[in-house]
Structure 1
Amino acid sequence: MHFLYNILIILVPSVLKTVALFNKKIKLGVAGRKKTFPLLKAQLSPNDNTIWFHCASLGEYEQGYPVFKNIRHLYKNHKIVLTFFSPSGYEVKKNTDIADVVCYLPWDSKANAKQFVSLINPELTIFVKYDIWPNLLSELKSKNRKALLISALFRKNQHYFKYRFMQKALFAFDHIFTQDEASKHLLENIGYRHVTISGDTRFDRVSSQLNMDNSLAFIERFKQDNLCLVAGSTWPEDEALLVDFINNSPDGIKFIIAPHNIKAAQIEKLTLAITKKVALFSNKAQANLEESNVFIVDTIGLLSKIYNYADIAYVGGAVGHTGLHNTLEAAVFGIPIIIGSHYEKFPEASHMIALGGMFSIKTKTELTQTLTQLIQDSNKRQQAGNQNAHYIKKNTGAVIQIMDFIRN
């Protein structure tokens, strides 16, 4: 199987060059990977002490950020290389000050792995959650380079536990910090023993949001003293449910929608579907925010602050099968959360539902019933929100455990 993997990993880049002609995201990745080795050669020298962070995409970056920040402070004289597999992470964070060099991860061929590890020669490598690449990890192991996997979350049907060469890749990590006990047991079942249940570093990440200035003057102008529902990272299937409720909602309720897709055509379609008065972030200077009922955030990077103004949150991605977005960003502000029904791969959602702070819906009717109850019953809103805030606070501390291990 490893032999087949090595053949495919050589063929895939050539295939993607053709696909890139028709797909913008893949085109970004193809073009970006061409720059990886020249960039590393230009920015690094053999005398540099380096540390390597790897994230599949933006979500893993946010997950690893609290650890990255601490390492950056601890190793001030080291150069830090940050790699992404996906354009979704690289394009947003290519200018982050957490690293000295930000680039795409090269394809995991044996030749690329040798060249990549030789160029950066990291004293310490941190992978976040998963995105395990066997040839790169094998090369690190052969060079006796220290590597850690943090916030790992495994399921028994993943290929890491089906194929021996993928299991071998896991053994290249000196230590693995898992989010839960089930992930630890899966590792122990294949004989891996250097594992600690530290929890999810995302809890530390979102908790730090409470220490920041989350004020947004234009949101305050929009919300005023009204009850406010914030719908974050929504997809069209989420919006199809929400729009019907919004159009038939009583006076005195404000709605903020931050769609995942902020392309002009999608924003226009959403705006036209809403019969209430709508204001756009891109046109907020000209809009009458005080008199608007709905505010559509057609930009990125503000959602974590906007949740501060929510009385109720709706988090998208679980009505369809695109994947539930980050519910912890909302939960940290102590507000009730509504999601769709496809959340099986997100243990934090299951936990908050069991605690009574989160509510799962499938249909417009269920959404209407849940929202109506939360709007009308302030005690229920407060109790649910308190459960979420307590859940976040209870699960912080992963970063302390990881940093203690690194220091020692």
Structure 2
Amino acid sequence: MLLYNIGLRFYYIIIYIASFFNQKASLWITGRNNQTVACLNNSIWFHFASLGEFEQGRPILEAMRALHPGKKIVITFFSPSGYEIRKNTPLADAVYYLPLDTAKNAHKFIEAIQPQMAIFTKYEYWYHYFTEAHKRQIPLYIISGVFRPKQVFFKWYGCLNRKILSFVTHFFLQDEQSKQLLQNIGITNATVSGDTRFDRVWANAQQPKEIPGIAAFKNGQKLFIAGSTWPQDETLLTTLPALYPDWKFIFAPHEIGEEKINNLLNLLPKDSTLRYSELIQNSKFKIQNGDLRPHTSELRTLIIDNIGMLSSLYAYGDIAYIGGGFGVGIHNTLEAAAFGLPVIFGPNYQKFNEARELISIKAGFSITNEAQLKGIVDILVTDEAFYNITSKKVREYVEENIGATEIIMRMLR
């Protein structure tokens, strides 16, 4: 316990120092320091680490809102990337940064919002918050939970972490392996319900949002979408437009700071590349009667310089590359898969069940270098039969895995 508390203080100090030169760290600090938590009664509390977990837990959030229209819903985020984008969501009555996990903060926060139940998505196990909820007999649920053998919970030195798990009322898990791992340490209050992300992306694919200018940019040609990319991904991907002149390309980088966008622009042909913001504002490409002027035929590459479009953008695509695989791990492959797009990603995908399963059915492809990237893209581009089979497989995979929301809500009712 002492080491846990000391570790949290050190973490705060590191973030505080970083806040002087890093915008995300600055938002993490100032957002918590400047917020005032309103007093509520019998609320329903959802916690998400970041934006990805929000989208993952959104089907349960929407279902709870519909089931309990009179209840106040409180959402907390750990990361600014979730809070800043969803702080005004109509799905909640209050949205906050989760205060640092100290005993004092946990008592003060839970005392204020008075939750009737707490729902955490996928992970985020905070000792003091879980302890406070346990003391107050507040039901605490984990949805779309997933565990791996190498996690600290299953190590000889993970006593405190196992204690945190003991405060959870029920685990709704993605797979049987996670259930077995919990059973090995004596935790049996778990149900394999699946991953709610399948429900979310499937619903999104049934009613995709129209994005101004994208259909005209595509102009009836094939479209390659590179989503949530990082510089290591972009170094490989920016070689593709020259190889496939009949295709259009969209890059949606994970970080959209000016420096990041300019670095990406420098890797692409300047005479045929444009930012999305310029596309819809520039008079040369101005939207007229719901469409764009013919000058869009000159464009071959578009850079998305805003946040929030990607999940709908895949509706226009034919092949998707999902970034992050040359870093800590890939981003959301299911958003593209739900539209039937074959998905390509880097080598660090092992933590994600869906990526492993897509590879096993030959509907997803992992690459480690430029030659492998070109190899798989070439097959998908030139072999129509292979492309059609792959597209069918990937869409069916998503459809076959929907239903987690129904299982979870049946028990929560």
Work out whether the TM-score is over 0.5. Answer: yes
Contact persistence 2:130–2:167 (CA under 8 A): yes
Q: What residue number does 2:260 align with?
A: 266
Q: Distance in 2 between matches of 1:91 and 1:297?
A: 18
Among 196, 202, 226, the residue aligned to 1:201 = 196
1:156 alignment partner, SS class: coil
2:140 alignment partner, SS class: strand
Contact persistence 1:204–1:397 (CA under 8 A): yes
Among 219, 230, 236, the residue aligned to 2:231 = 236
Mean CA deviation greater in 103-112 or 122-131:
103-112
Q: Distance in 2 between matches of 1:260 and 1:193?
A: 38
Q: What residue number does 1:159 align with?
A: 152
Contact persistence 1:279–1:289 (CA under 8 A): no
Contact persistence 2:241–2:248 (CA under 8 A): no
Among 377, 394, 400, the residue aligned to 1:394 = 400
Contact persistence 2:274–2:303 (CA under 8 A): yes
Q: Distance in 2 between matches of 1:227 and 1:12?
A: 46
Task: Supply the AA of the counterpart residue of 1:355.
Answer: I
- After superposition, residues 86-105 of structure 1 pair within 5 angstroms as 86-105=79-98
Task: Supply the AA of the counterpart residue of 2:310.
Answer: L
1:83 alignment partner, SS class: strand
Q: Distance in 1 between matches of 2:401 and 2:33?
A: 41
1:123 alignment partner, SS class: strand
Q: Distance in 1 between matches of 2:72 and 2:358?
A: 39
TM-score by length of 1: 0.94
Among 326, 334, 340, the residue aligned to 2:340 = 334
1:222 alignment partner, SS class: helix
Q: Distance in 1 between matches of 2:138 and 2:374?
A: 55
Contact persistence 1:49–1:77 (CA under 8 A): no
347 and 274 in structure 1: CA distance in 2 versus 1, 3 angstrom threshold: same
Q: CA deviation at 1:153?
A: 0.8
- After superposition, residues 104-253 of structure 1 pair within 5 angstroms as 104-162=97-155, 163-249=158-244, 251-253=245-247
Structure 1: runs of 5 or more not aligned: none
Cα deviations across residues 323-379 of structure 1 (Å, max 9, x unaligned)? Answer: 201000000001211111221111111100110111111111111111111111111
Q: What residue number does 1:54 align with?
A: 47
Q: Distance in 2 between matches of 1:261 and 1:15?
A: 21
Among 385, 408, 411, the residue aligned to 1:405 = 411
TM-score by length of 2: 0.93
Contact persistence 1:201–1:399 (CA under 8 A): yes
Q: Distance in 1 between matches of 2:169 and 2:255?
A: 39
216 and 18 in structure 1: CA distance in 2 versus 1, 3 angstrom threshold: closer
Q: CA deviation at 1:49?
A: 2.1
Mean CA deviation greater in 390-399 or 8-17:
8-17
Structure 2: runs of 5 or more not aligned: 286-294
Q: What residue number does 1:67 align with?
A: 60
2:160 alignment partner, SS class: helix
Q: Distance in 2 between matches of 1:299 and 1:370?
A: 29
Q: What residue number does 2:318 align with?
A: 311
Q: Distance in 1 between matches of 2:98 and 2:193?
A: 27
Q: What residue number does 1:360 align with?
A: 366
Q: Distance in 2 between matches of 1:33 and 1:217?
A: 36
Q: Distance in 2 between matches of 1:215 and 1:157?
A: 42
Task: Supply the AA of the counterpart residue of 1:269.
Answer: N
Q: Distance in 1 between matches of 2:18 and 2:4?
A: 20
Q: CA deviation at 1:19?
A: 3.2
Q: Distance in 2 between matches of 1:212 and 1:34?
A: 39
Q: Distance in 1 between matches of 2:272 and 2:93?
A: 46
2:213 alignment partner, SS class: helix
Contact persistence 1:277–1:294 (CA under 8 A): yes
Cα deviations across residues 182-232 of structure 1 (Å, max 9, x unaligned)? Answer: 111111111111100011100001011123243334111111221111111
Cα deviations across residues 137-194 of structure 1 (Å, max 9, x unaligned)? Answer: 0111111111100000111221233322211111111110111111111111111111
223 and 157 in structure 1: CA distance in 2 versus 1, 3 angstrom threshold: same
Q: What residue number does 1:79 align with?
A: 72
Q: Distance in 1 between matches of 2:54 and 2:14?
A: 28
Cα deviations across residues 4-28 of structure 1 (Å, max 9, x unaligned)? Answer: 2123334543553333223221111
Contact persistence 1:247–1:274 (CA under 8 A): no
Q: What residue number does 2:29 align with?
A: 30
Q: Distance in 1 between matches of 2:194 and 2:410?
A: 14
Q: Distance in 2 between matches of 1:8 and 1:231?
A: 37
